[in-house]
């Protein structure tokens, strides 16, 4: 887990749990970090998913967060896979 993340001082959520996730296979990319957080707020429970991968020296980092079930980790893997494909073809 990176320790130098910037804190959002206006955030209205609290992280209640977090865990490292299994690194997915992404063609032509090296996946270096997959992480999930469960959050709670006045609007209800939520999730945040993080995924970082590199292709040819370019790093793609994506975070998706929202109320529970707005995003899945599979959604984040699909987004990073598309981005890595674009990087690999340029």
Q: Give the mean model confidence (pLDDT) for residues 47-58.
A: 93
Q: Which residue has the tokens 């296979």?
A: 25
Determine how many CB atoms are found less than 10 A away from the CB of residue 39. Answer: 22
Three-state DSSP at 32 gives strand
Q: Which of 16, 25, 21 is nearest to 33 (CA)?
A: 21
HSE-CB at 44 with a 13 A cutoff on CA atoms is 6
* pTM, rounded to two decimals: 0.83
* 68 confidence band (pLDDT: 50, 70, 90): very high
């Amino acid at each position: 887990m990176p320790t130098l993340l910037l804190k959002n001082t206006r955030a209205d959520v609290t992280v209640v749990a977090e865990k490292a996730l299994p690194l997915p296979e992404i063609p032509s990319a090296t996946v270096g970090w997959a992480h999930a957080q469960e959050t709670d707020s006045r609007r209800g429970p939520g999730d945040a998913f993080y995924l970082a991968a590199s292709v040819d020296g370019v790093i793609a980092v994506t975070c998706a967060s929202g109320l529970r079930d707005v995003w899945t980790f599979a959604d984040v893997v699909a987004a990073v896979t598309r981005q890595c494909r674009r990087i690999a073809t340029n």
